[in-house]
Amino acid sequence: MILMKHGILRLLAGVVLCGPLLTTGPACAADPIKVGFSMALTGGFAPIGKQILTALEIWRDDVNAKGGLLGRPLKLVFYDDQSNPATVPAIYTKLLALDHADLLVGPYATPMIAAAMPGIMQNNRMTIGILGLSVNKRFNNYPRYFSMTPLGPEGPPAFSKGFFELAAAQAPKPRTVAIIAADGEFPKTSSEGARQNAKAAGFEIIYDRTYPPNTADFAPVMRAVKAANADIVFAAAYPPDTVGIVRAADEIGLAPKMFGGSLIGLTATAIKMQLGPLVNGLVNYESFMPSFKFAGTAELMQRYEAKAASLGVDPLGYAFAPFAYATGQLTAQAVTETKSLDPEKLAAYLHSHTVETVVGPLAFGADGEWTRSGIIFTQFQNVNGHDLGQFKGAVKEPIVWPKPLATGSLIYPYERAKAE
């Protein structure tokens, strides 16, 4: 009798432990699968972080509408890293030790991903970094890290390859190059790739400078570029710098034969609207355009736009939302196909399978990078005024490289494109 009583108590205890208050021990079928991450929701990266969070919430809702994963609903568990790498290690400690996150994604941006990696590696977990730059090289190609940056096997030079191929195809071919970059991780890495591509294409680099990250007045910077009188100008800059560079170039009358590069700000709708006609003629890298026709892409962007309108985030989200949603798709398929949350099994699946996503079919190399490049180059053409409508659908920002994806032709030289 006593044994029976003890057995019933143990059974009842098991029922209680499978309730919503469970914090330790095996998860029950009804418990949510926790997807943990830090995200820049305040600070300099917040405009991008909020786009990414919006897309991840859409992904969560889509998965839950179909019954969740492994018969369990998804729950996003996230904290604001304030765009500050110093906050990230403690967040990931909390996610793993206290929140008991089942899966990890992100975070966003190279500095934050790099800060998260030691804790992720120590716990043998898997993550898909959202748009970090060659992070895994620092960690000897940790086998459970995957990147959503569409560089492909050639790495950072992909950020400028199309720019110099376009320039080299012009007749007569321009000869000289000026390179200007912010003294920061992404711009310096991008400009190093630009040097490689410029030399490989037979261009002479006659001006090559960086400027301090706290630069506020870009007129002196761009006057020096103008004085070099290079045929083409490649610039690599963060969003605030992008505005300063483009405005200063217009004020001083910079008129090379080709101008642009890897100006991150030109991927943000608010900055496109702010600059308006000043963007005409600029040739810039992109990684997604609404002309891409993959399964679910159009539906995602329609839903993102509807949700963004009420949240006050980037109204179009072309540059970041699809990659965040695709991060979720990769994670979900790996879980579904392996029927597991085990990081080793999930990583092995992603290393050995191609997954169809809203940014196209994705496969990963041993270093966790894409096996193909997804970088494209666009040119702003015929922009008038500052309204949102003209940027929707990217009609005035056609893809000009590579040819198989082109939706328009390059207007050359820059002065002509700027005037049209």
Reported as a single tens digit per residue, the pLDDT across 152-166 is 999 999 999 999 999
Percent of the chain whose predicted confidence (pLDDT) is above 70: 93
Reported as a single tens digit per residue, the pLDDT across 66-87 is 999 999 999 999 999 999 999 9
The dihedral formed by the CA atoms of 336, 338, 341 and 345, expressed in degrees to the nearest 10: -140
User: How buried is 353 (Cβ within 10 angstroms: 0-12 exposed, 13-18 middle, 19+ buried)?
Assistant: middle
Strand, coil or helix: 378: strand
pLDDT at position 28 over 50: no
What pLDDT was estimated at residue 177?
98
User: How buried is 97 (Cβ within 10 angstroms: 0-12 exposed, 13-18 middle, 19+ buried)?
Assistant: exposed
Verdict on whether the full-model pTM lies above 0.85: yes
What pLDDT was estimated at residue 97?
97
| Helices 321-338 and 297-311, packing angle to 10 deg | 120
Q: Which CATH superfamily is domain 158-286+381-419 in?
A: Response regulator (3.40.50.2300)
Asked if residue 80 lies in contact with residue 38, where contact means CB atoms within 8 angstroms, the answer is yes
User: How buried is 344 (Cβ within 10 angstroms: 0-12 exposed, 13-18 middle, 19+ buried)?
Assistant: middle
pLDDT at position 18 over 90: no
What pLDDT was estimated at residue 19?
39
Distances (CA, A) of 252 to 218, 297, 313, 365: 10, 41, 33, 45
DSSP 169-220: TSSSPP-EEEEEEESSHHHHHHHHHHHHHHHHTT-EEEEEEEE-TT----HH
pLDDT at position 22 over 60: no
pLDDT at position 3 over 70: no
Instruction: Tell me the domain boundaries of the chain.
Output: 30-150+294-362, 158-286+381-419
Amino acid at 188: K
Reported as a single tens digit per residue, the pLDDT across 235-252 is 999 888 999 999 999 999
What pLDDT was estimated at residue 13?
39
What pLDDT was estimated at residue 196?
97
E strand or H helix at 117, and its extent?
A: helix 110-122
Tell me the CATH class for 30-150+294-362.
Answer: alpha beta
What pLDDT was estimated at residue 5?
40
Comparing 22-31, 143-152, 391-400, which segment has the lowest mean pLDDT? 22-31
Apex CA 259: angle with CA 179 and CA 396, to 5°? Answer: 145
The dihedral formed by the CA atoms of 179, 183, 186 and 191, expressed in degrees to the nearest 10: 20
What pLDDT was estimated at residue 319?
92
Closest by CA to 351, choosing from 145, 149, 154, is 145
CA 294 to mean position of chain CA atoms: 18
Asked if residue 137 lies in contact with residue 367, where contact means CB atoms within 8 angstroms, the answer is yes
* DSSP one-letter code for 27: P
E strand or H helix at 262, and its extent?
A: strand 258-263
pLDDT at position 229 over 60: yes
Higher pLDDT, 180 or 293: 180
What pLDDT was estimated at residue 244?
96
In our burial notation (b when 16+ CB lie closer than 10 A, e otherwise), range 381-393 reads bebeeeeeebbee
Tell me the mean pLDDT in the region 218-229. Answer: 98
3-state secondary structure 44-69: CCHHHHHHHHHHHHHHHHHHHHCCCE
Cα of first residue to Cα of last residue in the chain, in angstroms, is 92
pLDDT at position 25 over 50: no
Higher pLDDT, 186 or 21: 186
Tell me the mean pLDDT in the region 283-303. Answer: 94
For the chain, the helix, strand and coil percentages under 3-state DSSP, each to the nearest 5: 45, 15, 35
* Residue 80 burial (CB count, 10 A): 17
What pLDDT was estimated at residue 23?
37
Structure-token pair, residue 187: 């711009």
Asked if residue 43 lies in contact with residue 316, where contact means CB atoms within 8 angstroms, the answer is no
What pLDDT was estimated at residue 399?
97
Cα torsion angle, 219, 221, 227, 228, sign: negative
pLDDT at position 24 over 70: no
* d(C-alpha 56, C-alpha 45), whole Å: 17
What pLDDT was estimated at residue 420?
81
User: How buried is 261 (Cβ within 10 angstroms: 0-12 exposed, 13-18 middle, 19+ buried)?
Assistant: buried
* d(C-alpha 155, C-alpha 73), whole Å: 36
Average pLDDT, the chain: 92
